[in-house]
């Protein structure tokens, strides 16, 4: 099921703000942080210029936020080395997407950004 318009707009605003602030201006030509929305999921992607390729960008899924409309909550997931998603158990699901984005930004376990 796709996100409702208000949830989608909120997610877009919060994620764009996070992406804009996370990468310092001096690295924006080498590192991109962006998100994509599919159904009820918002996926955060880190994209870096391949140092061995000619202007090729390599994408790495960092985090996924899934919205459960019936409960009105977001749940945070992380990707393993095989791009399989797993629930991030160190932070409870929340009605507040901003709370989960902050958990990714703080990255207390090092699972999102290392």
pLDDT score at 44: 98
pLDDT score at 58: 92
pLDDT score at 52: 80
> What ranges do the domains of the chain cover?
5-106
pLDDT score at 49: 87
**Residue ranges of the chain with pLDDT lower than 50?**
none
User: How far apart are the two ends of the chain, measured CA to CA in Å?
Assistant: 32
Q: What angle do CA 34, 37, 38 make, to 5 degrees?
A: 140
Residue pair 47/33 in contact by the 8 Å Cβ criterion: yes
**Would you say the C-alpha torsion 69, 78, 36, 6 has a positive or negative sign?**
positive
pLDDT score at 1: 73
Q: H or E element: which one contains 103?
A: helix 97-106
pLDDT score at 51: 80
């Amino acid at each position: 099921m796709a996100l409702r318009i208000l949830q989608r707009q909120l997610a877009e605003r919060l994620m764009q703000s996070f992406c804009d602030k996370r990468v310092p201006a001096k690295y924006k030509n080498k590192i991109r942080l962006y998100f994509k929305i599919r159904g009820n999921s918002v996926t955060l992607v880190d994209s870096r210029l391949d140092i061995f390729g000619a202007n090729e960008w390599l994408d790495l899924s960092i985090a996924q936020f899934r919205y459960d409309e019936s409960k009105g909550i977001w749940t945070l997931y992380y990707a393993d080395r095989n791009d399989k998603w797993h629930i991030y158990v160190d932070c409870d699901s929340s009605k507040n997407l901003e709370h989960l984005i902050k958990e990714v930004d703080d990255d207390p376990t090092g699972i999102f950004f290392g």
